[in-house]
């Protein structure tokens, strides 16, 4: 099972564990050190007492030990250590604990065997008083011979008692230390966990759909890096989401626009067909209705074609079949293709000027110019339309100028939207569907160019197309 603990609790526990382990370790180490120091001190005291006694007895001989017994009894009965003088066989001849100790044989003890062999002997064991006792024995020499041993002992109680006292004090100190650690660990873990908690709150809010959430990059370097990465990601997601929403809006508007555009010709066709079905229509009227049906069907077909073209151009990614082009030549070709229409509208189109070569798709660019000329001759029937080709700021420029009514100020920035028509052209039955300029814009954009509409000071409109020049 996975334990779900907050990072704050984990930090708190870790800090506390480290503090407890190091405090316990240190205490244990110092207590052990103190104990061995106390025991060493006790041993060296017993050692020097044994040494002094062995020197004195060695000088007087073991026989003179009797007087020593008397001297000891008088000296200091409270002496915390006990002194025994043993003869060469390990039997006590003097005992500071009293006469009763005299005559006891200690030759079995390891430290006595050491001393009688001429070496220093020391040992700690549960002794006669049923306490832990330290024993130290020194050989007694006289004239180069070992004649006995000086044997001192003392319970290690003093050391134990001292340690017990220390342990108690240490306990209090440790308690105080732990309380301080508890408070500190709590504060520290809160402080360390805070940036992460903020990060968690921020990301949760973001995941909940609030894409405006950002977190302040604070705290440790890693936390800051995470916060910064989160913010960068949030920026991107927010951007993409708003883009998607816009796209969605565009699409749904497009669909409603398309259905709206379909309705008008369909209504006209249905009206005409119904009237014809009713019968009893004069042949002249019947012809008029049939003409309407044909015209509106054409319009539907054109609409379908235009939408398809727009879809292809906008959907294509750099797949235009491009080649080196002369804009003036493309313009002349576009005008030539429009000849029947121009004749019908009694319009004149003049192409003039020269432009540096550009890279482009000739058919698409011809479509651009044809659309512009179509619009210009439609709004100004019987007038003259000029197509001027030239260069400007290192770019090839093509302008279409007409003598029509110009474009209403309010319409200028919506002109290139799909299905957009000004009030005037909307009222006209001969009007198109409003896709022409959207197609123009899409083609020009695909060529990395720009298109702009303006009103000429002398009247009429001017559409200016700019394309990057081919450098060789």
Ligand X SMILES: Nc1ncnc2c1ncn2[C@@H]1O[C@H](COP(=O)(O)OP(=O)(O)OP(=O)(O)O)[C@@H](O)[C@H]1O
Residues that bind ligand X (CB under 6 A): 306, 371, 375-376, 379, 402, 404, 407, 415, 420-422, 425, 431-438, 461
- Contact partner at residue 461 from Mg ion, ligand X, none, CB < 5 to 8 Å by partner kind: ligand X
By C-beta, is 202 or 432 nearer to ligand X? Answer: 432
Closest CA to 445 of 360, 321, 356: 360
By C-beta, is 72 or 461 nearer to ligand X? Answer: 461
> In angstroms, rounded to a whole number, what is the distance separating the alpha carbons of residues 35 and 162?
9
Nearest distance, CB of residue 437 and Mg ion, angstroms = 6
- Contact partner at residue 116 from ligand X, Mg ion, none, CB < 5 to 8 Å by partner kind: none
Contact set for Mg ion, span 117-156 (CB under 5 A): none
Is residue 367 involved in binding Mg ion (CB under 5 A)?
no
Q: Which residue is nearest to ligand X (CB)?
A: 432
> In angstroms, rounded to a whole number, what is the distance separating the alpha carbons of residues 197 and 213?
15
Specify whether the CB–CB gap between 131 and 157 falls below 8 A: yes
Nearest distance, CB of residue 421 and ligand X, angstroms = 3
Place of tokens 């260069």: 391
By C-beta, is 406 or 436 nearer to Mg ion? Answer: 436
Q: Which range binds Mg ion by CB under 5 A, 57-65, 72-80, 309-317, 372-380?
A: 372-380
Beta strands in 273-367 (DSSP E): 323-325, 348-353, 358-360
Nearest distance, CB of residue 293 and ligand X, angstroms = 19
Place of tokens 């479509």: 367
Nearest distance, CB of residue 465 and ligand X, angstroms = 13
Closest CA to 137 of 76, 60, 81: 81
Nearest distance, CB of residue 250 and ligand X, angstroms = 17
By C-beta, is 199 or 439 nearer to ligand X? Answer: 439
Is residue 436 involved in binding Mg ion (CB under 5 A)?
yes
By C-beta, is 249 or 428 nearer to ligand X? Answer: 428
By C-beta, is 223 or 433 nearer to Mg ion? Answer: 433
Nearest distance, CB of residue 425 and Mg ion, angstroms = 9
> In angstroms, rounded to a whole number, what is the distance separating the alpha carbons of residues 288 and 282?
10
Buried b (16+ CB within 10 A) or exposed e, 211-243: bebebebebeeebbebbeebbeebeeebeeeee
By C-beta, is 96 or 375 nearer to Mg ion? Answer: 375
H/E run at residue 152: strand 145-155
Place of tokens 């526990």: 13
DSSP 472: -
| Binding-site ranges for Mg ion (CB under 5 A) | 375, 432, 436
């Amino acid at each position: 099972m996975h334990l779900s603990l907050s990072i704050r609790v984990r930090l708190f526990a870790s800090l506390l564990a480290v503090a407890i382990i190091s405090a316990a370790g240190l205490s244990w180490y110092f207590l052990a050190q103190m104990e061995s120091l106390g025991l060493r001190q006790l041993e060296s005291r017993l050692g020097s007492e044994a040494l002094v006694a062995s020197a004195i007895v060695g000088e007087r001989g073991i026989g003179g030990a009797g007087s020593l017994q008397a001297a000891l009894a008088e000296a200091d009965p409270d002496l915390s250590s006990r002194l025994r003088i043993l003869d060469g066989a390990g039997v006590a001849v003097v005992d500071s604990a009293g006469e009763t100790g005299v005559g006891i044989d200690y030759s079995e003890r390891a430290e006595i065997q050491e001393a009688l062999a001429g070496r220093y002997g020391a040992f700690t064991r549960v002794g006669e008083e049923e306490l832990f006792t330290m024993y130290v024995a020194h050989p007694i020499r006289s004239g180069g011979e070992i004649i006995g041993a000086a044997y001192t002992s003392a319970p290690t109680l003093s050391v134990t008692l001292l340690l017990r006292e220390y342990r108690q004090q240490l306990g209090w100190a440790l308690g105080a230390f732990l309380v301080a650690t508890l408070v500190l660990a709590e504060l520290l873990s809160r402080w360390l966990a805070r940036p992460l908690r903020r990060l968690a709150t921020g990301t949760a809010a973001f995941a909940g759909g609030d894409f405006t959430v950002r977190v302040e990059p604070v705290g440790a370097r890693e936390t800051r890096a995470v916060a910064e990465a989160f913010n960068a990601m949030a920026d991107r997601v927010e951007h993409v989401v708003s883009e998607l929403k816009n796209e969605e809006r565009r699409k749904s508007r497009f669909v409603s626009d398309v259905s709206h555009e379909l309705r008008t010709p369909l209504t006209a066709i249905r009206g005409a067909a119904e009237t014809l079905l009713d019968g009893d229509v004069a042949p002249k009227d019947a012809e008029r209705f049939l003409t309407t049906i044909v015209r509106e069907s054409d319009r539907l077909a054109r609409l379908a074609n235009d939408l398809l073209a727009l879809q292809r151009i906008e959907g294509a990614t750099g797949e235009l079949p491009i080649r080196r082009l002369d804009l003036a030549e493309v313009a002349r070709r576009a005008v030539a293709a429009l000849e029947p229409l121009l004749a019908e509208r009694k319009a004149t189109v003049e192409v003039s000027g020269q432009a540096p070569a550009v890279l482009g798709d000739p058919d698409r660019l011809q479509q651009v110019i044809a659309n512009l000329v179509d619009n210009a001759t439609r709004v100004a029937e019987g007038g003259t339309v000029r197509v001027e080709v030239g260069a400007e700021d290192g770019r090839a420029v093509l302008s279409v100028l007409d003598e029509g009514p110009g474009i209403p100020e309010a319409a200028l920035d919506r002109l290139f939207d799909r299905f957009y028509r000004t009030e005037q052209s909307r009222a006209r039955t001969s009007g198109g569907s409003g896709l022409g300029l959207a197609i123009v814009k899409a083609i020009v954009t695909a060529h990395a160019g720009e298109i702009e509409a303006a009103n000429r000071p002398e009247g009429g409109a001017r559409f200016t197309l700019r394309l990057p020049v081919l450098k060789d």
